[in-house]
């Protein structure tokens, strides 16, 4: 990803302002909630920076892990982690998969970018796509303590909540199936 000087300066500005906001808000947050005040303050600051985020639909454990991780990232290292996409309902995932199937031309090719409903952890509520790249790098380095792992070589933004331990790193979504011989049944038609 090539970024202009202006974009870098803008991102730096966002980092500074959001961090400042978290610091300024923290006494208020501590008054409101003696436990977890820091996290509350960071959540407010991050919500101001990423107003379009939708955290609903993630499993409670995934959501808690993600909140804890990005609080730590912002508070300790001044790194912002935004959510691009978290939970997706089955209909949305099916639409994304169908679009990719049309574009890519085959099930095997489509799976490299979008998984069908039955295999997507976004539908399960245990996957998060994050931004920007710096945030993803932080999560890749520190995510283990929150059970959040990068899974695919070709998706720097995609992380999964895996409390049972680190999953095998795959070159791309559907890689296990490809390795098994590409004998994949076509998915059933769209059903919410």
- List the one residue out of 38, 64, 68, 43 whose CA is nearest residue 142: 68
Q: Which stretch binds Zn ion (CB under 5 A): 16-24, 121-129, 140-148, 160-168?
A: 121-129
Q: Which stretch binds Zn ion (CB under 5 A): 75-83, 130-138, 156-164, 168-176?
A: 156-164
Using the structure block, give the residue that is written with the tokens 């202006």: 6
User: In angstroms, what is the minimal distance from the CB of 176 to Zn ion?
Assistant: 16
For residue 53 the two structure tokens come to 């985020």
Q: By beta-carbon distance, which residue lies closest to Zn ion?
A: 158
- Compute CA distances 164 → 102, 145, 161, whole Å: 35, 12, 9
For residue 182 the two structure tokens come to 């590409």
Q: Which stretch binds Zn ion (CB under 5 A): 61-69, 94-102, 157-165, 166-174?
A: 157-165
Indicate whether 129 belongs to the interface with Zn ion (CB under 5 A): yes
Indicate whether 63 belongs to the interface with Zn ion (CB under 5 A): no
Nearer to Zn ion, 71 or 173 (CB): 173
- DSSP per residue over 89-124, as a string? -HHHHHHHHHHHHHHHSSHHHHHTT---GGG-HHHH
User: In angstroms, what is the minimal distance from the CB of 151 to Zn ion?
Assistant: 9
Judged by the rule CB under 5 A, the positions of this chain that interact with Zn ion are: 129, 158
């Amino acid at each position: 990803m090539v970024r202009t000087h202006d974009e870098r300066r803008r991102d730096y500005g966002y980092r500074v302002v959001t961090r400042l906001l978290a610091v300024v808000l923290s006494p208020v947050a501590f008054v409101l909630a003696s436990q977890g005040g820091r996290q509350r303050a960071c959540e407010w600051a991050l919500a101001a920076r990423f107003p379009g985020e939708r955290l609903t639909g993630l499993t409670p454990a995934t959501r808690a892990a993600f909140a804890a991780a990005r609080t730590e990232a912002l508070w300790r290292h001044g790194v912002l982690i935004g959510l691009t996409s978290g939970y997706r309902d089955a209909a949305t995932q099916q639409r994304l998969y169908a679009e990719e199937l049309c574009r890519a031309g085959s099930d095997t090719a489509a799976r490299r970018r979008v998984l069908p409903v039955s295999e997507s952890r976004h539908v399960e509520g245990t996957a998060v796509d994050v931004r920007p790249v710096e945030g993803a790098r932080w999560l890749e380095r520190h995510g283990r303590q929150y059970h959040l792992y990068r899974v695919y070589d070709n998706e720097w933004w995609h992380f999964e909540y895996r409390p049972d331990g680190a999953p095998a790193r795959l070159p791309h979504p559907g890689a296990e199936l490809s390795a098994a011989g590409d004998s994949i049944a076509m998915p059933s038609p769209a059903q919410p």
